[in-house]
């Protein structure tokens, strides 16, 4: 059997693909993908690395159905890596607004600039070089290289981890180092040996199986091509594998947000720092929440904070909004402030008065946009 490399460990500590340890596994996945897998997704219609890369970044932590309209809109505005690199960060963030995990958008922009400056606008074909670019992890690098260039590289995203953990009966939390190492080794050993088309169908097949058959809560073992091989099914452990992440209780952070809406129906937006949650996006001005304050004390505090931007006429508390992040919950206490006149001129770098009726185009995080859309529809 042909060996592609002598060592099993590459320069980045990655397991390098060797000969295939079980050709029947990849054959089964490929045959199933051709017949039952997904073939009509927008990004499957092209091998253009820019489109493949864009889709892979958008699909990290986001469902296909959510990504599709964002993907189309992004390509209309930025049809290639050059236009993406030349865009302003506000334009990129506005196109990402609502998709969540905004670090992805900042890294995407940085990556486009690097591809243009370091590679003349052509994405490299080697997974190691792709992995060195901003926002591209090991599995994403392998997917881009496989789909765009037919590279023989193993992927291991959340869906594939689940399929492998069940089929091979792998115990332990899949994102812990020893379990993840084992999964990567298994994935590298199972790569098909021949042909661009084979690696593409195999990579897509694993993704499709995880997304459409071997799902987290309702796996469809009756239609799965891996039924005969599946250790979890044979041992009655489908519900137990993959092992869930050990639960930690997440803290709640409380904050006051000000909806300053002036007489021309513009709302004051504040640019967030480039790093941290919602980094680089616009949001509402914030104040620290203090337990035990009376309504009168709160209103006084809000009027004082708003003073540089507007003369506040009335202050009305709105319904509390909660938004979950991976490591904490943000409890937002929104206060709508009515103003008799136009808002004061503000520094363009950090604040802007934005027309409420155009709020859907603003580079805002989803919960803030929803809050403002509601405010526009009721006031
Ligand atoms: S048989 Fe069931 S549990 Fe096993 S891989 Fe297929 S869908 Fe998943």
Atom of ligand 1 nearest to the CA of 163: 5
Per-residue confidence (pLDDT) for residue 270, from 0 to 100: 93
pLDDT digits (tens, 9 = 90+) for 53-101: 999 999 998 999 999 999 999 999 999 999 999 999 999 999 999 999 8
Q: What is the DSSP letter of 120?
A: T
CA 211 – ligand 1 centroid, Å = 12
Beta strands 266-271 and 351-355, pairing class: antiparallel
Q: What is the mean pLDDT of residues 181-200?
A: 92
Domains contained in the chain, CATH given:
23-234 (1.10.340.30), 252-378 (3.90.79.10)
Establish whether residue 231 lines the binding site of ligand 1, counting it when its CB lies within 6 angstroms of any ligand atom: no
Establish whether residue 116 lines the binding site of ligand 1, counting it when its CB lies within 6 angstroms of any ligand atom: no
Residues in the chain, how many? 379
pLDDT digits (tens, 9 = 90+) for 236-287: 999 999 999 887 788 999 999 999 998 888 999 999 988 888 988 999 999 9
pLDDT digits (tens, 9 = 90+) for 147-178: 999 999 999 999 999 999 999 999 999 999 99
User: Which pTM does this prediction carry?
Assistant: 0.75
**Cα–Cα distance list, 26 to 31, 88, 190, 205, 244 (Å):** 8, 43, 7, 9, 27
pLDDT digits (tens, 9 = 90+) for 104-154: 999 999 999 999 999 999 999 999 999 999 999 999 999 999 999 999 999
Rounded CA separation 274/107 (Å): 12
Mind giving me the DSSP string for 240-278?
A: T-SPPPPP-PPPEEEEEEEEEE-TTSEEEEEEPPSSSTT
CA 219 – ligand 1 centroid, Å = 6
Burial classification of residue 307, based on how many CB atoms lie within 10 Å of its CB (0-12 exposed, 13-18 middle, 19 or more buried): exposed
Per-residue confidence (pLDDT) for residue 12, from 0 to 100: 41
Rounded CA separation 176/164 (Å): 15
Establish whether residue 224 lines the binding site of ligand 1, counting it when its CB lies within 6 angstroms of any ligand atom: yes
Rounded CA separation 375/369 (Å): 10
> Contact, 44 vs 214, CB < 8 A?
no
Establish whether residue 225 lines the binding site of ligand 1, counting it when its CB lies within 6 angstroms of any ligand atom: no
Active site residues: 56
Per-residue confidence (pLDDT) for residue 16, from 0 to 100: 55
Q: What is the mean pLDDT of residues 24-34?
A: 97
Task: Record the tokens describing residue 125, joined without a space.
Answer: 């074909």
């Amino acid at each position: 059997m042909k060996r592609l490399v002598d060592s099993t460990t590459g320069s980045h500590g990655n397991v390098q693909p060797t000969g295939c340890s079980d050709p029947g596994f990849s054959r089964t996945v490929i045959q199933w993908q051709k017949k039952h897998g997904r073939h009509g997704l927008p990004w499957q219609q092209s091998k253009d690395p820019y489109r493949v890369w864009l889709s892979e970044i958008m699909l990290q932590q986001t469902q296909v159905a959510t990504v599709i309209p964002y993907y189309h809109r992004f390509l209309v505005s930025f049809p290639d890596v050059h236009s993406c690199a030349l865009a302003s960060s506000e334009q990129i963030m506005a196109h990402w607004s609502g998709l969540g995990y905004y670090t992805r958008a900042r890294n995407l922009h940085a990556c486009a600039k690097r591809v243009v400056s370091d590679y003349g606008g052509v994405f490299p074909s080697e997974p190691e070089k792709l992995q060195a670019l901003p926002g591209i992890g090991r599995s994403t690098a392998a997917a881009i290289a496989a789909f765009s260039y037919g590279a023989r590289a193993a992927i291991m995203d959340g869906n594939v981890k689940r399929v492998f953990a069940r089929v091979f009966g792998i115990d332990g939390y899949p994102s812990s180092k020893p379990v993840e190492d084992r999964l990567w080794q298994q994935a590298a050993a199972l790569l098909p040996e021949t042909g661009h088309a084979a690696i593409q169908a195999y990579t897509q097949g694993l993704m499709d199986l995880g997304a459409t058959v071997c799902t987290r809560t309702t796996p469809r073992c009756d239609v799965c091509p891996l039924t005969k091989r599946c250790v979890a099914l044979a041992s009655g452990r489908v519900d137990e594998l993959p092992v869930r992440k050990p639960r930690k209780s997440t803290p709640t952070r409380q904050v006051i947000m000000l909806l300053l809406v002036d007489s021309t129906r513009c709302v004051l937006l504040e640019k967030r720092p480039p790093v941290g949650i919602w980094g680089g996006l616009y949001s509402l001005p914030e104040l620290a929440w203090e337990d035990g304050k009376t309504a009168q004390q709160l209103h006084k505090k809000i009027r004082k904070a708003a003073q540089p931007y507007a003369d506040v006429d009335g202050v009305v508390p709105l319904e509390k909004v909660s938004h979950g992040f991976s490591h904490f919950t943000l409890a937002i206490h929104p206060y709508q402030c009515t103003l008799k006149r136009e808002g004061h001129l503000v520094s363009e770098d950090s604040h802007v008065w934005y027309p409420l009726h155009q709020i859907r185009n603003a580079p805002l995080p989803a919960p803030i946009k929803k809050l403002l859309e509601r405010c526009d529809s009721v006031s």
